[in-house]
Amino acid sequence: MAPGKEVRFPIAPFMGTMGVTPNVSGKPNSIPPGDYGGNMDIRYLGAGATLYLPVQVPGAMFFIADPHFVQGNGEVALTAVEGSLRTTLRFTVLKVGDPAIPGKLTGPFAETAEYWIAIGLDPDLNEAMKKATREAVRFLSERLGLDRATAFAYLSAASDFEVSQVVDRTKGIHALIRKKDFSAAK
């Protein structure tokens, strides 16, 4: 780029790290994400988003960190446009069986006004993709009543699977399931 040229892009603030206390022996580490949440770096988890996390230990607790003004999918350079953010959160504890829970959670799952977001996390990017796919199929089957073959066909034809991040030991893939595709199914 020639000297004096500018690059401009919009901001979309979100917190990169959100989670509950993991069920581990010893000192927990929030950097590699896992079934408790952690450093997931999913840019869709901004204002108005809902993050579902399965409680791991009594009392659950919650941690939040890693504020981003904006980040591209993949976070390929280990950083984004980061800075201080003041975050307001609302917590709701949902008991097992509550119809608001998006099925049988084994890890993080998210929701925005536009999408349901199935999340796959694993040190191997291929395994993260498999986990995101399985979670998306599980959600479509349990919550929306699709048989598995139809769920797979829908995901292949109409859903985007995006790399959340590759900079941590644990890689992330998330599936964006458009709510409007199922508006008649509600």
Cβ within 8 Å of residue 50, ≥6 positions away: 110, 111, 112
Task: Give the residue numbers spanning the domain of 154.
Answer: 14-181
Residue 3 in any domain: the answer is no
37: domain CATH number is: 3.10.28.20
Per residue of the chain (186 residues), what is the pLDDT tens digit? 578 889 999 999 999 999 999 999 988 887 889 999 999 999 999 999 999 999 999 988 999 999 999 999 888 888 889 999 999 999 999 998 999 999 899 899 999 999 999 999 999 999 999 999 999 999 999 999 999 999 999 999 999 999 998 888 899 999 999 999 998 755
Residue 102 in any domain: the answer is yes
3-state class (DSSP) for residue 134:
helix
Q: How far apart are CA 55 and CA 20, in angstroms?
A: 7
Q: Which helix (H) or strand (E) holds 122?
A: strand 115-122
Residue 7 in any domain: the answer is no
**Counted domains in the chain:** 1
Residue 133 in any domain: the answer is yes
Q: How far apart are CA 26 and CA 23, in angstroms?
A: 10
Backbone angles phi, psi at 80, to 5 degrees: -130, -165
Residue 8 in any domain: the answer is no
